[in-house]
Structure 1
Amino acid sequence: MDLPLSKRVQKIAASPTLAITAKAREMKQSGIDVIALGAGEPDFNTPQNIIDAAVDSMNKGYTKYTATTGIPELKQAIIDKLKQDQFLTYKPSQIFVGTGAKHVLYCAFQAILNPGDEVIVPVPYWVTYPEQIKLAGGEPIFVETGFDADFKITAANFEQAVTPKTRAIVLNSPNNPTGMTYSKAELLAIGEVAEKHGIYIISDEIYEKLYYGDKSDLVSIASLSDALYELTIVINGVSKAYAMTGWRIGYAAAAEPIIAVMGRLADHLTSNPTANAQYAAVEAYNGDQSVPESMYKAFEERMERFYPILESIPGFKPKKPSGAFYFFIDVSEAVRLKGFESADVLADKLLNDAFVAVVPGSGFGMPDYIRISYATDPALFEQALNRMKDFMKN
């Protein structure tokens, strides 16, 4: 029997990153030696002090409902972190803690969008942005960037895309899938356009700790003026910075009316994030930072070590990242050399013939690219690069 389903939900595309990860896992379980380079999560375990804090909270009986938008201790830890790292001042009523940054983004789009509102999304983009915008009744407006522009939108590109329906722009720095980062000057120029037209800025800063340059160069656009502070919804969390992807703790910092609406929405979606995960996040922000910092250094070392090898693979044209833990690679020449129809076919062949799982760029809006994650055991990652090189030379 064919029963009716929601047309809205049927229009939503599946996540290619999760699909690739699931397929690689299935192949591994069947005995195939697949090296998965698709997942967007650190290969380190959560630091022990954070795990201990979660266990301690359970032993103390902190296993009940909490306030929907987060426990006071975690809100204060986030406030202190934003003050110290980004020179931003917020009150507890301006902080929303959700079930991962993905859930927080969903609530943010639901809070600010009405049917037909447009959201400017630079290409390439994280796969979830367009789908969440559509779920909120909005329309993603894609603005092309490109390899030579370091995959970043400019103020001029932004201005050209603005219409009377423009409600928001999404910025992700450091970026997934490219690893590129906006400078203070670039953010100031983009901010001027947003101020001029009264446009919200969704500033996804989830990879903020994974930045390889001078930390003084990495700023939040919310810190650049009073107007931008009011217009910006800062999105962040513990997933990437503290190897806590499975704990599902993210947050938003924004003007009180936005946070209040997000909280009311979450009342009917999820209630509070998991209690012991919140106490673990308190320890993440307030506890010893030496283990996370060693993780950041390891990612930078891997990037420097493997980038020259990647450049040597025939038909591969990578862009050297300045943050996150991804290489975003133009494989249009590799596709031509192999006589394939597309980079999607190349990705499929790499999985089935070379046993290396990569994410096709089509899911990020750039079909001539692939993304690989070096948040992977270095020995396995080097083996994967050698498999891809052999595949291209065969």
Structure 2
Amino acid sequence: MSVRLSKRIQRVSLSANAAAKSQATALREAGRDILDLTTGEPDFDTPEHIKQAACKAIHGGATKYTPTPGVKALREAIQRKLQRENRLDYSLASIVVGNGAKQIIFNAFASTLDEGDEVLVPVPYWPSFPDIVRVNGGEPVFIECGLEQGCKLTPSQLAQHINERTRWLILNGPGNPSGAVYSEAELLALAEVLRRHPQVLVLLDELYEHIRFDGKPPLSLLNVAADLQPRALLVGGVSKTYAMTGWRIGFGAGPRDLTGAMAVMQSQSTSGASSVGQAAALAAFEGGLDFLPEQVQAYQQRRDLLVAALNEVDGLQVLKPQGGFFVFVRCAGLLGRLRPDGLRLNDDGDVVNYLLEQGVAGVAGGAYGLSPWFRLSIATATRSVIEAGRRIAEACAQLRLEASA
């Protein structure tokens, strides 16, 4: 007897990133030499003062239920962080803490979407965006933003896709998987379009805000268009900046009626986030960013090494990321070529599987809505990034043109 599943769950699928990570892990556990470049998880350790704060909280008895919107001290620290680092002012009631940024996004869509409401999703996208929209009754509307425009949404595209059913626009910067960063002028141009459509909310996913390679501070749409703050939700957290992916603490800052509804939604699912995780996040936001330049420099070095290696490979086009943990690669030039065993590369899934056989695990671009591309993470040891570039170049050199087979 099989269990009858809901139509809701049948509209979504397992995260492609998680699936690729699981496959790479299984192969490594079986003894294969696999370089895992699948996930955006910093290879740096959580800073020591943050770990010590968590231990202190445990020994101090801070192991009980927490308020659903988040511990007041942490929300106050987030409030100060937003003023200090993002130059944005929020009331305490406008800030809500969740079990990771993904829950914040889920709660926001669960609180605002009715059946048939549309959410504009620039392509390429983080794979969870469209599925979270679908599971909450909405319809993702995809806007392809290809290599020629730096994988960034243009004002004309935005204006073309807004209609009476449009409920949200998602803006992710620095982008995952693209690493794209919007300039002040580009954000101003998007803001001009949004001002003509006051019914459209804006979700600003800024998890990678400090992982930028231009030396500039984080720049949000709200820094150039403060009038949009009453209808924008800024999503942040500790996972990327502070290497705290497993601590599961994210936050949202937005209109009070929205954050209040999100807290109600969370009260009926997970309730408040971990007391220990919140104590650690408080220490993170209050402890400064002195450790960060060295890490960003390492990411930038890895980016430069991998981009340089892949730019030498016939058949690949590399979008040089301006931030984040990823290098996004267009592989249209490899399609139609034959592997040494005679099999033909027909799509980016075939390319990724071929590279996996050569010991490099990435994620096919179809997972991000854009094919034929693939994504590689640089959140891994520099030596692994160098070796991955070498293996990819060697694997591609072994391909043959179909006509010469």
TM-score in same-fold range (> 0.5) = yes
Q: Which residue is 1:257 aligned to?
A: 257
- Aligned pair 1:340/2:341, yes or no? no
CA drift at 1:312: 1.1
Match in the other structure for 2:86? 86
Q: CA deviation at 1:325?
A: 1.4
Partner-residue secondary structure (3-state), 2:211 = coil
Task: Identify the residue that residue 54 of structure 1 maps to in structure 2.
Answer: 54
Name the stretch that deviates more: 54-63 or 182-191: 182-191
3-state SS of 2:337 partner: helix
Structure 1 residue aligned with 2:213: 212
Q: Residues of 2 paired with 1:153 and 1:64: CA distance?
A: 44
| 1:393 maps onto 2:401 in alignment | no
Structure 1 CA distance, aligned partners of 2:195 and 2:235? Answer: 19
Q: 2: CA distance between counterparts of 1:392 and 1:364?
A: 23
Conserved 8 A contact 1:344-1:367 = no
Give ranges in structure 1 of 5+ residues lacking alignment. none
1:159 equivalent in structure 2: 159
Contact 1:211/1:324 (CA < 8 Å) preserved in 2? Answer: yes
Q: Which amino acid in 2 is paired with 1:354?
A: Q
User: Considering only aligned residues, what root-mean-square deviation do their CA atoms show, in Å?
Assistant: 1.1
CA distance in 1, matches of 2:257, 2:310: 47
CA distance in 1, matches of 2:396, 2:47: 39
Quote the Cα distance in structure 1 between the aligned partners of 2:66 and 2:120.
35
Task: Provide the residue aligned with 2:403 in structure 1.
Answer: none
1:300 alignment partner in structure 2: 300
The corresponding residue for 1:75 is 75
Tell me whether 4-13 or 170-179 shows the greater mean CA deviation: 4-13
Query: For residues 4-50 of structure 1, what are the alpha-carbon distances to aligned partners after superposition, in whole Å with 9 as ceiling and x for unaligned?
Result: 11111012022111101001001111111111100111111111111
Work out whether residues 310 and 316 of structure 1, in 8 Å CA contact, stay in contact via their aligned partners in 2.
yes
Deviation of 1:227 (Å): 2.6
Q: Distance in 2 between matches of 1:200 and 1:12?
A: 23
The offset of 1:337, in angstroms, is 3.2
- CA separation in 2, counterparts of 1:226 and 1:243? 30
Provide the aligned length of Structure 1 versus Structure 2.
392
SS of match in other structure, 2:243: coil
Distance 1:311 1:106 in 2: 38
- Tell whether 2:276 aligns with 1:276: yes
Report the alpha carbon displacement of residue 288 of structure 1 after superposing the two structures with TM.
Answer: 4.0
SS class of match (2:9):
helix
What amino acid is the match of 1:341? Answer: N
1:99-118 aligned within 5 A = 99-118=99-118
CA contact (8 A) 2:305 2:386 kept: no
Q: With structure 1 as the length reference, what TM-score do the two structures score?
A: 0.97
1:378 aligned to which of 382, 386, 389: 382
- Equivalents in 2 of 1:347, 1:114: separation in Å? 37
Q: Which residue of 2 aligns with 1:266?
A: 266
2:97 counterpart residue number: 97
AA at the equivalent of 2:204: S
- 1:296 offset after TM fit, Å? 1.6
**Equivalent residue number for residue 7 of structure 1:** 7
Q: Is the 8 A contact 2:35 2:361 kept in 1?
A: yes
Q: Is the 8 A contact 2:302 2:385 kept in 1?
A: no
Which residue type is aligned with residue 212 of structure 2?
Y
1: CA distance, partners of 2:85 / 2:43:
25
Report Cα offsets for 1:58-111 as digits up to 9, x if no partner: 111000011111111111111111111221101110001000001111001112
Identity in percent = 34
- Residue 197 of structure 1 aligns to a residue whose secondary structure is coil
* Contact 1:249-1:273 at 8 Å conserved across structures: yes
In structure 1, distance between residues paired with 2:305 and 2:222 = 34
Q: How far did residue 252 of structure 1 move?
A: 0.3
TM-score, normalisation: structure 2: 0.95
358-367 or 380-389, which moves further after superposition? Answer: 380-389
What is the CA–CA distance in structure 2 between the aligned matches of 1:97 and 1:292, rounded to whole Å? 23
Q: Distance in 2 between matches of 1:266 and 1:259?
A: 10
Alpha carbons 2:305, 2:385 under 8 Å: kept: no
- Alpha-carbon distance between aligned partners in 2 of 1:94 and 1:390, rounded to the nearest angstrom: 52
Distance of 1:93 and 1:106 partners within structure 2: 19
Aligned residue in 2 for 1:366: 370
CA deviations over 1:260-303 (Å, ceiling 9, x no partner):
00000000111111111101011111114222332122111221
> What is the distance in 2 between the residues matched to 1:191 and 1:288?
31
Query: What is the match of residue 30 of structure 1?
Result: 30
Distance 1:14 1:234 in 2: 26
- Structure-2 separation of matches of 1:49 and 1:313: 43
Higher mean C-alpha displacement, 169-178 vs 281-290: 281-290
Unaligned ranges ≥5, structure 2: 339-343, 399-405
In the TM superposition, residue 313 of structure 1 has moved relative to its aligned partner by: 2.0
2:63 and 2:156 mapped to 1: Cα distance?
Answer: 51
CA distance in 2, matches of 1:227, 1:287: 31
Amino acid of the structure 1 residue aligned with 2:228: L
